[in-house]
Chain A
């Protein structure tokens, strides 16, 4: 057993490994999935087949899915025990990213709602004056 070999305990992020499939095949599958998701994103944005207010949500979901594809197939982040450190760092990064983005959008939206005229109204007033 090579269990005590420290090199096998952790894997560097971005390092291709062929435990599941050939290294090149992983990149090819990732490219195919990313192209598919990109194509669907552009289609969803331009079609009228989808209920209007749902389009933006659908696009965000597609984007998050594509980021997942990039992480798994290009950066080789897996759920394996040798990847725990990489996943934990990623989870913390994602937490901060969501806190910053959702927190800012939430607060700024309510500020705008509570603080008088919207930019559009200000523009109209400026144009009149």
Chain B
């Protein structure tokens, strides 16, 4: 924006201004910079993604007892498997945070190292989850067995698909940081990636509690 259209000192002090601030909230400042707007917009997307998951949670909660004579959650779910997945994803989220701290200091080596660790832990999570799915399908408890299993595979599978997308995004960002360095737009993408990855862990907290822990209560 061109400076000097309205000189800051001449801006009228209307409304809820206070102290020496001449900000009227009426647009003298112009829009926020991209470093604020882009992550904020991505935050809105992530929140809408959580609304999507809330619908899947609601359908799972409605259908959890509709086993159609097939295996139920008590027979199918193994808590030690879930504990491994939970720890892997939590540590992965933590490592992603360390990568952002390193990126803020423009430290290429440590950014890449923490991103690799993030991705490896994400892969561990995905591997354990896919093995669990494969085992369930092999014993005849696939998504077509009952409404309970359909909603289970939709909910947990949707989260797994998000993790898969996140892993590809991590790989992309590692290449971009490597090739392009810490330019402003690369930093914004890294921050959006970290928001996405932390949000996936928040959704997993709901999944391991509602699906796996409450589902296996005696």
Residues of A participating in the B interface, judged by any CB pair closer than 8 Å: 1, 3-4, 6-7, 9-16, 23-24, 27, 30-31, 34-35, 38, 41-42, 45-46, 52, 55-56, 59-60, 62-63, 66-67, 70-71, 74-75, 85-86, 89-90, 92-93, 96-98, 100-101, 103-105, 108, 118-120, 123, 126-127
Contacts and interface: CB of A to CB of B under 8 A. Distances in A.
Nearest to A109: B62
A85 B216 CA distance: 39
Interface of A is mostly: helix
Contacts of B81: none
Contacts of B20: 1, 3
8 contacts: A7-B33, A31-B94, A38-B86, A63-B205, A86-B40, A89-B44, A90-B47, A105-B61
Given A7-B36, A67-B205, A74 B50 contact: no
Contacts, number: 161
Given A38-B90, A74-B97, A15 B191 contact: yes
A104 B90 contact: no
Interface residues of B, number: 65
B195 A27 contact: no
Contacts of B44: 89
A14 B195 contact: yes
A103 B21 CA distance: 45
B16 to A, nearest CB: 12
Contacts of B32: 6, 9-10
Given A13-B39, A38-B90, A123-B69, A93 B79 contact: no
A45 B215 CA distance: 10
Given A6-B29, A123-B68, A24 B98 contact: yes
Nearest to B188: A12
A70 B202 contact: yes
Contacts of B59: 104
Contacts of A63: 205-206, 209-210
Nearest to A10: B36
A105 B210 CA distance: 13
Contacts of A103: 58
B32 to A, nearest CB: 6
B51 interface: yes
Contacts of A62: 209
A92 B61 CA distance: 22
Contact of A13 (B21, B40, B66): B40
A26 B207 CA distance: 25
A104 B51 CA distance: 13
Interface in B166-218: 191-192, 194-195, 198-199, 201-202, 205-206, 208-210, 213-214, 216-218
